[in-house]
Amino acid sequence: MNEVDQALDIAIASFVAKRPKTHALHERAKAVMPGGNTRTVLFSAPFPIRVERSQGAMLYDVDGHSYLDFVGEYSAGLYGHSHPRIVAAVTEAVAGGLNMGAHHVREVAFAEAVCKRFDLERLRFTNSGTEANMMALAAARCFTKRSKIMPMMGGYHGGTLYFGGGVASPVNAPFECVLGRYNDVETTRALIQQNASELAAIIVEPMLGSGGCIPASLEFLSMLKEESSKAGIVLIFDEVMTSRLHPNGYSAKIGIQPDLKTLGKYIGGGMSFGAFGGRAVIMDLFDPTRPNALPHAGTFNNNTMTMTAGLAGLTEIYTPEVCFAHCALGDKLKTDLNEMFMRYQAPMQVTGMGTLLNIHAVSGDILRAEDAAKGDLRIKRLLFHHLLDEGIYIADRGFMALSLLIGERESALLLVAIEKFINKYRDLLRV
């Protein structure tokens, strides 16, 4: 066993010793859920923290520990915990009726706001980003009357559309896929051209999320737009995460308009939310007044809590001015962290944009998920446990999504905590 393994073992043993109630609750959970888990991304060995309550930017676990929340519900928690305007919106929705089983006023107002904000001609609501991507791909296949789709190696479009490690997950939906290579212009262009007559859709995250917050190059996204337009392929931008990086979504920031966009996460105000939309000629396939209209059911598609909280968040809280300022804060944090890593010559770096960031324990350029995968996962786990001891919660994979309640003070606390980590483990970081 080398020194990194020894340090990690010590950190894990300390974690366990400080959390007897968490450990007991995990054992209880294992009796009714596989591995005590119902959401894979939240699991971290030897067992995850168990939160008892949250408020503002803070989480409080069952053993009495408190943490600054830098996970931000994996970008869905933009408004922090129990934002007063969101609480008021939810209270309003409860008072007005939760499950109407009918069309209602709030869904119209929310649909208008989302279409205007993200430049969509038409949209339909879903319950998650996963479902939004599934429905967008189904729409593309019906529109083009073709069967194949092109995701990217390392891409993630939900629990049934995961291509980490360059392969499809065993639980993926049974789409016939041609996997493109993220940020590889010529290789992916050739694949599109070879399969053009069978490709219904190209789906891409403008910045890989679970793949490590790796932005796509403008050249790569421009090529996808060019080739899809020439071949009549529906280009789908998965903006479930990246829509928060510009007031009108990341596609507006870079000036590339796909045929369809998928949305999710924070736009629902913290409630379950997803949406897909774009060109009317595609979306109107779902118009129930048309003969042979495509069906799209979903009991909670127009749930009043989501519609009400989402509208309040999008129009009253996350205004364009707030979006710009918040993203600037995240960009500064990224710069400050990378300058620190460089100053200490630590083989670490931060990727991402705005308020979506990922720490990697690897040197050199990170252009795609396989580059990030070369990093030492033990170092990231060691950092995860160190930050918990410092009262800071990030994802154990190094991911951070800053809520609006993470400001300059909280960013400074993170910088201090990571500098302590570098100094504490300086010898290991030079191995």
pLDDT at 320: 97
Say if 277 falls within a structural domain: yes
Give per-residue pLDDT as tens, 83-112: 999 999 999 999 998 889 999 999 999 999
Residue 191 included in any domain: yes
Residue whose structure tokens are 């007005």? 96
Give the model's pLDDT for residue 195: 98
Residue 419 domain-assigned?
no
What is the Cα 398 distance to its own chain's centre? 13
Residue 356 belongs to a domain: no
Element holding 393 (H helix, E strand): strand 392-393
Whether residue 89 is contained in a domain is answered as: yes
For range 48-63, the mean pLDDT: 97
Question: What number of other Cβ atoms are within 10 A of residue 344's Cβ?
Answer: 16
Position 396, amino acid: D
Banded model confidence at residue 431, pLDDT cuts 50, 70, 90? low
375, 299 in Cβ contact below 8 A?
no
Q: Tell the residue number behind the tokens 């736009």, with chain if given.
A: 267
Written as six digits, the tokens of 220 are: 């790569």
d(CA 32, CA 257): 46
Q: Please indicate, yes or no, if residue 339 is contained in any of the structural domains.
A: no
- Domain extent at residue 239: 84-317
Within-domain flag for 268: yes
Beta-carbon count within 10 A of 335 CB? 11
Give me the pLDDT at residue 165, please.
80
Say which residues have a Cβ less than 8 Å from residue 299's Cβ, sequence separation at least 6.
none
pLDDT recorded at residue 130 = 97
CA distance 89 to 101: 20
- Establish if 57 belongs to a structural domain: no
- In this predicted structure, the answer to whether residue 1 has a pLDDT above a threshold of 80 is no
Q: Are 329 and 352 in contact (CB under 8 A)?
A: no
Residue 98: what pLDDT? 86
In the beta sheet, which residues pair with residue 55? 58
Query: What residues are paired with 123 via a beta bridge?
Result: 277
| Model confidence pLDDT, tens digit, residues 374-423 | 999 999 999 999 999 999 999 999 999 999 999 999 999 999 999 999 99
Percent of the chain with pLDDT over 90: 96
Among residues 296, 159, 148, which one has the least CA distance to residue 234? 148
Three-state DSSP class for 314? helix
> Is 338 buried (19+), middle (13-18) or exposed (0-12) by CB count in 10 A?
middle
Average pLDDT rounded to a whole number, residues 323-332: 98
pLDDT 10s digits, 203-228: 999 999 999 999 999 999 999 999 99
pLDDT of 99 reads 86
Contacts of 225 (CB under 8 A, 6+ apart): 235, 256, 258
Concatenating the DSSP letter of every residue in 209-251 gives TTTTSEEPPHHHHHHHHHHHHHHTPEEEEE-TTGGGGSTT-HH
Q: Which of 114, 117, 135 is nearest to 126 (CA)?
A: 135
Question: Which residue type is seen at 380?
Answer: K
Mean pLDDT of 284-292: 97
Q: Among residues 326, 339, 323, which one has the least CA distance to residue 408?
A: 326
Q: What CATH number did the domain enclosing 296 receive?
A: 3.40.640.10
Task: Using the predicted structure, report yes or no on whether residue 168 has a pLDDT greater than 90.
Answer: no
Number of domains in the chain: 1
Instruction: Give the pLDDT of residue 166.
Output: 77
- Cα separation values, 293 from 285, 286, 289, Å: 6, 5, 7
**Closest-CA residue to 74 (of 45, 39, 115):** 39
**pLDDT at position 57:** 97
Average predicted confidence (pLDDT) for the chain: 96
Rounded Cα distance, 3 and 101, in Å: 60
Q: 415 pairs with which residues across the strands?
A: none
Taking the mean position of all CA atoms in its chain, how far away is CA 69? 16
Question: Which of 106-120, 153-167, 348-362 is predicted least confidently?
Answer: 153-167
The stretch 230-239 carries a mean pLDDT of 98
Distance CA 128, CA 308 (A): 16
